[in-house]
Structure 1
């Protein structure tokens, strides 16, 4: 596959590597913002007089705002270009991070976290569209997989980094660190990242045009099916991430420096899965690859339930979640490309709406479902397996609908 006419990496492999690292760093912003603060939950709760359920809202409100605003970031990038939207989002993210660091009480912290989520999606979501602007076919699949491999490191190092920062200072230091991260990402976008959506290809910047674009994409049956597949399949894995403070501290009985016990196996599975997805990009068709990945995910979910019935303790407690993460990482780049390729003239809107369902569901997981299903490791395993099974059924329905069409 030859590079597209907008591919600024065609002249230099080194330039391509730089763009890959920048896009991966932008993709890491979301999970890094979620997971870095986990080790500080106990300290924040103690200072502000908040219990574990109230502290879950620190994650839930961030993700809810991320989900709601994700509807608009992509369509705005279709009209304004990719770089202006990412830069504006990063400016807002840095300011919101500083607001979190200076929060005098839980109410202000929750408002600032909501603003963090409002702006963070601009960089995270639009960076996926940039990949498809620049590459096509198996090359786009390989690039998305490479980015996911780098992105996968974020949930593993973020809580570890948060724990290390707590050894240096109190919990606000974590938000100062995320502000610095956002500022560095903004400089990289301004200086090093090319604009991949030329003015001639942009849609009109009118409220009516943006809303029509969102409506056209959002009503499409294929979009609805693929968005729900992503939400439920990813939900089986994300449940462990959203409930990490409860699982690590309450169910595993560990401390604020021990989040690696949960995240390292999950992220190792994601790295392996993303690597496999890229390796198989030009050897196996997209649909067959997702078929096999989701079948493996269902098997991992069932194995998880069985192991938690037999021996609900470490290290067995993390065997099946690692396998589940591997399977989801194989499927995720493919499903994202399926969504973008369904709407080649409205990729920004497709990226936004394709993300909305999973983000909204993840916010529900963090704020409502996680506290309800974390009574034991078995209830967590049963819930995760149910989500993956629903996602697989939805994918099967999508495949059958595609054949009929």
Structure 2
């Protein structure tokens, strides 16, 4: 399960480091090459609610196997693509199917664990997704230069094939005897978590996009800026190890508060100075916040509508993606004269997120136990 999480984030972040090389070999402009990432992320996000509905209707393992088959076919087609148009179509298909993998893992964790054990498993899963992100960020470009960019996509195809074989031995209680009520995923509390997902995705994932460009604006080379930006993954890994030890002692509401406070400090540092050290520390702290805040909100999404867990988790993930896209779209024009004002505004938004998330989760917990 954790290795599947690794594979999904490896494939999601593997294309961007190879874009310049692909432009040369496929004889397309960089603007066209960027579409490889755009269509992938678009299909990745839009497919989330569909996969959730299918998982609640058909069962977890069926959807997981279907997603791995699609990832295998899409990645193999990416390797064999005879031209850029075919590659673009193959990456779109791959994004659609890979998009099901991580929500499926979260749903299975929600079905299989409760309380602090669930939080620890989500943290472990996050550790492996962070490793996938880091490996893709650091190694995909190197593999493409040393061998061929097609090798990077072949890794996903091989991984999907291996996991399909391993899944033949796996048995899950795919909802036998469990009542499914898809409508419960669209009641008041789930809708509230989706709204928080949009806001958190905007802050944590959307504004994170500006760390590497801000480093480059400060005079750091593109290669070094990418390495320093990848310390975000180091923050997730370290934060996940710390979160696993903390959650049983303090509970999810306090975890959300810790993650929000960490995120506030991260963007406060970035707003005060956009030089190498503050921005690198910011990247690490955003990763640490991800391990506390994002994993806690994801855990809440697995709890808030148990009879439609897969649908709820998938819509929450989609909400975070939509928030990320909205944040970059709204703030892109504000960065022409520097990134400080954007980071400062994000500090204010983080305070709002903290008040809303901590307060509402505390209220939900009281209502649930009461």
TM over 0.5: yes
- Partners of 1:33 and 1:279 lie apart in 2 by 29
Unaligned runs of 5+ in 1: 1-22, 204-211
- Partners of 2:35 and 2:352 lie apart in 1 by 26
Instruction: Choose which of 116, 134, 138 in structure 1 pairs with 2:116.
Output: 138
Deviation at 1:269, TM superposition (A): 1.1
2:288: which partner in 1? 326
1:286: which partner in 2? 252
Unaligned runs of 5+ in 2: none
Q: Report whether the alignment pairs 1:356 with 2:322.
A: no
Deviation at 1:130, TM superposition (A): 0.9
User: Could you say which structure has the higher helix fraction?
Assistant: 2
Instruction: Choose which of 320, 334, 344 in structure 1 pairs with 2:306.
Output: 344
Pairwise CA RMSD of aligned residues? 2.9
- Partners of 1:198 and 1:280 lie apart in 2 by 31
Deviation at 1:277, TM superposition (A): 1.6
Aligned residues: 365
User: Which digits, 9 at most, give the CA deviation of each residue in 1:318-366, with x for residues without a partner?
Assistant: 1122112212211222222211211111111111122120123334567
The normalised TM-score by structure 2 is: 0.86
Any residues of structure 2 matched to 1:78-157 within 5 Å, and which?
A: 78-157=56-135
SS at match of 1:152: helix
Larger deviation: 235-244 or 95-104? Answer: 235-244
Deviation at 1:384, TM superposition (A): 5.0
The normalised TM-score by structure 1 is: 0.80
Change (3 A) 1:184 1:374: farther
2:199: which partner in 1? 232
1:37: which partner in 2? 15
- Partners of 1:244 and 1:103 lie apart in 2 by 33
Q: Report whether the alignment pairs 1:298 with 2:276.
A: no
Instruction: Choose which of 166, 185, 192 in structure 2 pairs with 1:217.
Output: 185
Change (3 A) 1:172 1:166: same
CA contact (8 A) 1:133 1:197 kept: no
CA contact (8 A) 2:201 2:319 kept: no
SS at match of 1:281: helix
CA contact (8 A) 1:40 1:256 kept: no
SS at match of 2:353: helix
Change (3 A) 1:55 1:104: same
